[in-house]
Structure 1
Amino acid sequence: MAARDRDSLVSAAGEAEERALEAALRPKNLDDFVGQARVRQQLSLVLEASRIRERTADHVLLSGPPGLGKTTLAMIIAAEMNAPLRISSGPAIQHAGDLAAILSSLTEGEILFLDEIHRMSRPAEEMLYMAMEDFRVDIVVGKGPGATAIPLDLPPFTLVGATTRAGLLPGPLRDRFGFTGHLEFYSTGELELVLRRSAMLLDLKVNSAGFAEIASRSRGTPRIANRLLRRVRDWALVHKLEEIDLRAASAALDMYEVDARGLDRLDRSVLTALITKFNGGPVGLSTLAIAVGEETETVETVAEPYLVREGLLGRTPRGRVATAAAWEHLGMVPPAGAMFGETLFTLTEESAPELFED
């Protein structure tokens, strides 16, 4: 399966058409937003206090893996504050002038959402410090000794920044946010609630077992859950099924190569190569990438995070290793004395009685 196909299923990235469908399923207010109970409670308090004071809300930083609802929360903040929303991203702002053009066109109370804010250029970042704190920017006109800084006052606005790598944000920028919320992966139960709401909006009939099956394969990510739900819907439509049950959901997701733990073809290829070609590791990342025919960055950023989180792959100073759970998931038995991380694992009659049977 090509990288583009993989993105349409279990990656948190998405094509334009997929994003349009996801937008239609987005909750419009905090009451409809499922999961992230602590963040919702804290954010609701911040917004309510701002409305009582009749002032713009404090700047908000949302961090966490992709697909958990950072963009949706930014839209909800604008809706809750009854304010217009301006959307941009860090990679699109490569010069201070780019940011100055956006800031100078903001209206009072407007919400400015910057996705992947950690990828903004350093000059623009430094301009943002003053804009966030003093609602003012200095526009530099000219170059060299004749350059002149012209101060420009800005109307009060709320910046909502989103990042998948909060550690890359410099301290001075992070400290200027009045509220910071970290989004966690969803439980299977929470994903079932997300799927039930989406199924209702899509006018789909799915029973409880079908919801549970799709949720269990969704990597703890609502965006992936909704995407898998639409693929299961397509499968049911072609097979002329009026209701999606456990058998239908399982058959559909198996066809799309998403297994019971949410692993796709790339994930299983990485584990299979690690076990069959390198005896479970340790092996270097570049060597492993060559073995599965993928780019190093693809293995590191697409496959590794979920495999490590699921306890199927370990990262050690000596390289990547397959854990005991990985061998078990692929239906294989690790050899006696296999290395798991930095610990020597020895099979005994108690740990693997099937190997000691007559």
Structure 2
Amino acid sequence: MASDADRESLVSAAGEAEERAIESALRPKNLSDFVGQARVRQQLSLVLEASRIRERTADHVLLSGPPGLGKTTLAMIIAAEMNAPLRISSGPAIQHAGDLAAILSSLTEGEILFLDEIHRMSRPAEEMLYMAMEDFRVDIIVGKGAGATAIPLDLPPFTLVGATTRAGLLPGPLRDRFGFTGHLEFYSTQELELVLRRSAMLLDLKINSAGFAEIAGRSRGTPRIANRLLRRVRDWALVHGVEEIDARTAAAALDMYEVDARGLDRLDRSVLSALITKFGGGPVGLSTLAIAVGEETETVETVAEPYLVREGLLGRTPRGRVATAAAWAHLGIEMPESAVRTGADLFTVLAEDETDFSDN
């Protein structure tokens, strides 16, 4: 078992500071250490190398894809590869053109400006960004009404790195101003094992191949989740005095944290369970399903649904959400014949008409 000193370190202020330092250390510092996303890495490496050869700032970069795949990490890597300072902000924090003007006017030459969730930036700030990206200039409006005047402000050359989880919400004029656009895909289990091996080495953990495979299989194709689960397995092993983590240890730890063998957590299973046991497998509207599990509609739609749909456990049809045969099997519940017929009919309708009326 863990000693008293070990237990104390888990809750001490020094332990918290060490944890934050470890989390920062888990981020790769250069493209060669970045695991996965081979195509994006290759393309981005070419863009950065060409910029260094020309001795100019790199083109503006847009990174899109689901959360947790490494967009912020890549922005940090770009700054490191270009040997340039990094300024970090986010779309929701820029609600006025003046907010953006203040950031842009304080940039130094060659600086990397990272805007997370760039699609959530206000429209006035977005329009100011057009000129800043293209001409490295902004117009500051002084005064109001007929007496207002525009004062041009020249900006030093900089590189904007925008990150978004919803690239479709970016207006065309903004998207077209990025010199390079990279879309990040979910990771395979083998790629996640490589991520975990690197993190385990930095955390000084002893884990065998089966242990890595167990954690990777429950990580939903996302490195951020994989690293989080690894730290939780580390905690479980520390408290239980386990020196080398194997598949059995990893499974026991993650079962305690309610992450099952397929990566589903409590919310995911609650959604499937309510859909099957309370509504016979569907169809059921999103708002009704959210009430049944005691969560907000947006939480169910943005947190649980994407992974359930991607895993083929839940279907979105014109008449509502429906559980697939795989969902019944995953919960260990026999699928009645009526549900089989209903599901088949609904997916036939969905193939003919993809309009989603499930919120009704």
Corresponding residue number in structure 1 for 2:302: 301
Give the distance between the partners of 1:272 and 1:151, measured in 2 at CA. Answer: 60
Which residue identity is paired with 1:188?
T
The aligned residue for residue 155 of structure 1 is 156
Give the RMSD, CA atoms, in angstroms.
1.6
Q: How far is the alpha carbon of 1:342 from its aligned partner?
A: 3.8
- For 1:340 and 1:133, the matched residues in 2 are separated by 51
Residue 182 (structure 2) pairs with residue 181 (structure 1): yes
Contact persistence 2:57–2:158 (CA under 8 A): yes
Change in CA separation of 1:16 and 1:71 when aligned onto 2, cut-off 3 Å: farther
Q: Which residue number in structure 1 is paired with residue 352 of structure 2?
A: none
- Count of paired positions: 331
Cα gap change, 1:86 to 1:105, in 2 (>3 Å): same
Measure, in 2, the Cα distance between the counterparts of 1:232 and 1:140. Answer: 55
User: What TM-score do the two structures reach when normalised by structure 2?
Assistant: 0.90
- Flag the 1:265–1:18 CA change in 2: closer, same or farther, 3 A: farther
Q: Give secondary structure in 2 for the equivalent of 1:337.
A: helix
CA distance in 1, matches of 2:283, 2:248: 38
Distance in structure 2 (CA, Å) of the matches to 1:323 and 1:156: 53
The SS at the match of 1:279 is coil
Q: Deviations over 1:291-344 (max 9, x none)?
A: 111111111111111101111000111000000100010011211132226458
Partner of 1:206: 207
The structure in which a higher percent of residues are helix is 2
Structure 2 distance, partners of 1:24, 1:286, is 41
2:356 is matched with which residue? none
Partner residue of 1:319?
Answer: 320
Instruction: Give, in whole Å, the separation in 2 of the partners of 1:130 and 1:98.
Output: 16
* In structure 2, distance between residues paired with 1:68 and 1:299: 21
| Conserved 8 A contact 1:314-1:341 | no
1:170-249 correspondence runs (5 A): 170-249=171-250
Residue-by-residue CA offset, 1:119-175 (whole Å, 9 max, x unaligned):
000000000000000000000001111100000000000000000000000000000
Residues 291 and 22 (structure 1), Cα distance of their counterparts in 2 relative to 1, 3 Å cut? same
1:340 aligned to which of 338, 343, 358: 343
Partner Cα separation in structure 2 for residue 82 and residue 125 of structure 1: 27
Unmatched 5+ residue regions in structure 1?
1-14, 346-358
Q: Which residue does 2:88 correspond to in 1?
A: 87
Q: How does 1:97-116 map to 2 (within 5 A)?
A: 97-116=98-117
Q: Could you tell me whether the CA contact under 8 Å between 1:316 and 1:342 is conserved in 2?
A: no
**Does the 8 A contact of 1:111 with 1:158 survive in 2?**
yes
What amino acid does structure 2 have at the position aligned with 1:298? T
Q: Residue in 2 aligned with 1:273?
A: 274
| Partner Cα separation in structure 1 for residue 135 and residue 190 of structure 2 | 44
Distance 1:184 1:16, change over 3 A: farther
DSSP-derived class of the 1:262 partner:
coil
Give the letter for the 2:271 counterpart: V
User: Contact 2:215–2:226 (CA<8 Å) still a contact in 1?
Assistant: yes
Correspondence for 2:262: 261
CA distance in 2: counterparts of 1:239 and 1:17, whole angstroms: 21
Deviation at 1:22?
A: 2.9
Output the TM-score relative to the length of structure 1: 0.90
The one-letter amino acid paired with 2:67 is P
Residue 113 of structure 1 deviates from its aligned partner by 0.3
* 8 A contact 2:317–2:346 mirrored in 1: no
Distance 1:222 1:95, change over 3 A: same
Deviation at 1:77, TM superposition (A): 0.2
**Identical pairs, percent:** 92
Q: Which moved more, 1:42-51 or 1:290-299?
A: 290-299
Contact 1:337 1:344 in 2 (8 A): no
Q: Deviations over 1:2-49 (max 9, x none)?
A: xxxxxxxxxxxxx99977643220000000000000000000000000
Task: Quickly say closer, same or farther: Cα 1:96–1:179, change in 2 above 3 A.
Answer: same
CA–CA distance in 2 between the matches of 1:116 and 1:34? 23
